[in-house]
Structure 1
Amino acid sequence: MTRTLPKQITAGETLAWPITLTAYPAGDWTLTLILRGAGAIDLTAEADGASHLLRADAAQTTAWVPGRYWYVLRVSDGTDVLGLEEGTLEIRADLASLEAGHDGRDHVARVLAAIEAVIENRATIDQERYRINNRELQRTPLGELLKLRDRYTREAQRKAMAARGQSLLGRKIHTRFV
């Protein structure tokens, strides 16, 4: 069975996912989506002809807690209960409900920006270490910061490639034998 659900849901938006299960028609079977993670969500599909319609209005989804969830899609005919699909998905925060100053960047992007800010500020400071009375300050060596920046840059590039659906193994090298 191919993946039925999307990888992300946004809280505060209406959901309407039609799911056709020819072996489990809506007239005879009930489809339920069970989500567990930052919250607990159970959503029973409505019958839409022979198809199932997983539906939640915006007022319902606004209350959903953002985060990573594990899900299972189950069908039941009143006697038998069958699990059809399992996986993970992310419920993203409703942007309209967030305060001013929200930083929507992921961890990698935030850390990379922080490392670059430290490197930029370091350009005007030539001491790596100094002591005043019994207090000592030691800064991370510039070489270590550059290594960290390179590591997080590669991670950011991998994430961007994965988001575009590109291979994470590197570029293709085409060869021809004659």
Structure 2
Amino acid sequence: MSCIRFPKIITAGITLNFWVNLTAYPASNGWSLVAYLRGNSAIDLQSQVDGNQHLFNIPAEITKNYKAGHYGYSLRAIYSTGLIDEIESGVVEIKADLASLTDNTDLRSHAQKTLAAIEAVIENRATLDQERYRINNRELYRTPFDTLVKLRGFYRAEVAREQAKACGKSVFGKVIRVRLE
């Protein structure tokens, strides 16, 4: 399998437009490409001939109906005689079309939601000292405070990594410059 840079993220409601140039499978010589996406729904993408290249040009009117989620994909070259080769496979994420979302949609990541939940528990824990108690044969266990603090630190770091990545910064931390003379 080769690396042809199939999009790793597709946004619903936005035109999907990319070219694939495969010298072993030229579009002008009877080859076509089909991408099969399977996940929350089944999506088939058919390429068009553009010289020797394969053009995927899916209009926004079609992508707006894509359901958000993670999909497995298989990119296949198909020859006019029926020969089929798998060129690449992997995972692609389809993001929701913001224009079609309702008022009450929570777009925070898992890490952001979890951090908020942990911080809410810590804030309400100040007056609750018991980690475990029993009433009428029912027991309730609470997460120990030090565990909550450790989890909060973990998820704060995860949220910071997400934010750094979204801003194009290094996800590995500080950049160290070395000058060799």
Q: Taking structure 2 as the reference length, what is the TM-score of the superposition? A: 0.80
Aligned partners of 1:50 and 1:175: how far apart in 2?
A: 45
Aligned partners of 1:103 and 1:136: how far apart in 2?
A: 33
* CA RMSD across the alignment: 2.7
Q: Of 42, 45, 63, which aligns to 1:43? A: 45
Unaligned segments of structure 2, at least 5 residues: none
Given that 2:132 and 2:142 are in contact with CA atoms closer than 8 Å, whether structure 1 keeps it comes out as: no
Q: Of 102, 127, 130, which aligns to 1:128? A: 130
For residues 7-18 of structure 1, what are the structure 2 equivalents within 5 Å? 7-18=8-19
Aligned partners of 1:91 and 1:66: how far apart in 2?
A: 5
After superposition, give the CA deviation of every residue in 1:104-129 in whole Å (9 maximum; x if it has no partner): 11111100111112212333x14336
Which residue in 1 is equivalent to 2:80? 78
Given that 2:4 and 2:20 are in contact with CA atoms closer than 8 Å, whether structure 1 keeps it comes out as: no
1:21 aligns with 2:27: no
Q: Which is further off, 39-48 or 135-144?
A: 135-144
- Describe the shift of the 1:11–1:110 C-alpha distance in structure 2 as closer, same or farther (beyond 3 A): same
Given that 2:131 and 2:144 are in contact with CA atoms closer than 8 Å, whether structure 1 keeps it comes out as: no
Unaligned segments of structure 1, at least 5 residues: none
Which residue in 1 is equivalent to 2:62? 60
Amino acid at match of 2:63: T
Which residue in 2 is equivalent to 1:113? 116
Corresponding pairs, count: 175
Q: Which is further off, 8-17 or 152-161?
A: 152-161
Amino acid at match of 1:56: I
Given that 2:17 and 2:57 are in contact with CA atoms closer than 8 Å, whether structure 1 keeps it comes out as: yes
Aligned partners of 1:86 and 1:155: how far apart in 2?
A: 28
Structure 1 residue 161 displacement after superposition: 5.5
Which residue in 2 is equivalent to 1:93? 96
Question: Secondary structure in 1 aligned to 2:27?
Answer: coil
Aligned partners of 1:16 and 1:36: how far apart in 2?
A: 19
- Describe the shift of the 1:21–1:116 C-alpha distance in structure 2 as closer, same or farther (beyond 3 A): same
Structure 1 residue 130 displacement after superposition: 8.5
Structure 1 residue 83 displacement after superposition: 1.1
Aligned partners of 1:56 and 1:63: how far apart in 2?
A: 12
Q: Taking structure 1 as the reference length, what is the TM-score of the superposition? A: 0.81
- Describe the shift of the 1:76–1:171 C-alpha distance in structure 2 as closer, same or farther (beyond 3 A): same
Structure 1 residue 65 displacement after superposition: 1.4
Given that 2:131 and 2:143 are in contact with CA atoms closer than 8 Å, whether structure 1 keeps it comes out as: no
After superposition, give the CA deviation of every residue in 1:22-48 in whole Å (9 maximum; x if it has no partner): 222212211111111111111110111
